[in-house]
Chains A and B, each alone.
Chain A
Amino acid sequence: MKLYDILDLISIGFKADRFKTLMSSLGIIIGVMAIVVMLSVGEGIYSGVSSQFSTLDLDIIHVIPGRFSFGGPPARSPEEPAKFTDKDTKLLENIPGVKNVAPQTSAGVIVSFRDKNASATLIGIDPEKEHDLKSKISQGRFLTESDHTSIVIGSGVANGLFRMKISPGNRVRVYYEDGHMDFRVVGVLREEESSGIRAGNINTQMYVTHKAMKELLGRENYYYGTFQVTVDDPESVDEVVDRIKLDLERYHKDEAYDATTARDMLSSLMSILSMIKYALAGIGAISLVVGGIGIANVMMLTVKERVREIGVMKALGATTRDIRLQYLLEAGLLGVVSSIIGIALGIAVSFAIGSLAGLPSAIKIQSMLIGMLFGALSTIVAGVYPANRAAMLDPIEALRSE
């Protein structure tokens, strides 16, 4: 029997049984779709993150109280988080290879401008240590050591938070818990590309001196939330991290603290990404298995329905091979068509995820081929048993059946 004749017969069956055909292919369609989405989104995130890798500040170490955790649940430790003070600033500054130590303390606050309120992040800083921030001033000036009622705001706070733009010279009121303080805006930072790696979005942050921060928080004991340590040589960053961890032990023996680099954060992020990728792969694999079982089921039903037809085909001279080929091809064709539909849906979903969730997605020809391969493979595997059952039918029994 010629291939196109078999395909002709098969397509007649598909057309006659559209609904059954669609239902049996649903699992494969979903499976292939999941695979294409997984590969596309995975690839997109991966390349997005890798491109950020080159722009990361490789010479910066973050020192934080508590244990560093990224993604998963916050690491809980029996120890109290470390209480960082100027003693620690000094200690860090004295470590060889350290260029700059910038202590920061942040808090969620309500900012009020012309009787309208909005929430923002306020960060207490040491103006002398924030060379990077200072260079990002676009209007006005940066803070000085002696500023007590001055505030510098990110471009998002200036332009996006309130209906009216905030400019240097404007006054804002900042509420924290029961207290509040009035500040005069002295500077606005320029808009920064938001980066997924950095904690927080610089555009929605506001900066005051530690002195002002301490007063606003109204705490007896004021501690630093993080240190941003800059090293002389990015190559030596890991050694400095080790040294920091070791030296801090002196003041914080029973307290929790941690020091990490952007590279560490990146690798944690990467491991989360690969987890997501595997989860998606798992969904794809499961739905392919389920889809395969679905196809096998429907094929078994089809073979049962067509027992008599198969008997007739044999009486007319069809060989075992003819019948087996017919039903394998039927499953395979179902797989190919479902895979094509799955790929098309996968591309659509990838685009949707890309534009809705802001995740980058990259659709590669490999992703489609892999989807196709797995889709077709699982249907053919699913088709083997029913096709064999059909091929091995005894024509006498088949013709006697009702």
Chain B
Amino acid sequence: MEFSMKDFWNGSRRALARAITIVENEQDGYEEIMKEIYHHTGRAQVIGVTGAPGAGKSTLSDNLVKFYRKMGKTVGVCAIDPTSPFSGGAILGDRIRMNDLTLDQGVYIRSMGTRGSLGGLSRKTADAVKLMDAWGLDVIFIETVGVGQSEVDIVKNADTTLVVLVPGLGDDIQAIKAGILEIGDVFTINKCDRDGADRLNVEIEMMLDLGEAQDWRPPIERTIANEGQGIEDVVNGLNEHRKYLEESGLLEERRRERVRTEMAEMIHDRISRHVMKEITETGKFADYVEQVYERQTDPYTVVDSIVGDIFK
């Protein structure tokens, strides 16, 4: 299929799907697409869903999407699963929990592999979200891979982060270690059909008390996602947080910060690609490696001279 921006703006799902592919693979023309859509982004409410593997993120997202659909919103889901570092392949299985949504034309679901990125998202997640936003989806969920740690990327990409915890996993301690409590704007204790929800609740409250007092106190909801219980409470929590972000001016602050980090990353990326291309193509890099390996020189001197040469 030929891709055309006209189809994209006319609401073709095929065109949205193809645009994400082109951008994800950095195929020819991807920058033109991003340039054209950028002005139309910033409308959607972006919600991150994170938590340990198997905590119920996808099942919960499925239910949350249905709830927002009942409120008349169109919804996008960007579901990330880990790419195998060995083969570069991935099994993307989050959709299994969202099969009911597949035929709803007001919902767009896209699965992505992390493709070497470590922060729980893929490097192109932010762009995929922007494409969904510009295409006109009202609410966008990002489901991170469940590595249970260093999921901080989600904070940079979402307006509101929902952290899903499960009782009885020793999750509480893990969560504290991983810094997951700091990133939650709303918490839910999922799998409340199991023992230990009260205890986990107390532990989260205690940890939140230890932190610096903030204007926003993250609510702790309870859900049984596979039975659809507690969903409304989570939605209320998310919407409360949205209201808080808007009224406090924090939404603008977070989004401005996002622009800043995004641009810094792009500059970093562009420069390092340029430099690496330059020195690998001329064969200089291999020579330098050899010289450093032989201890004829040291990496600090070499890097100074490489970077100095290019940016004189």
A binds B: no
Interface residues of B (CB under 8 A from A): none
Interface residues of A (CB under 8 A from B): none
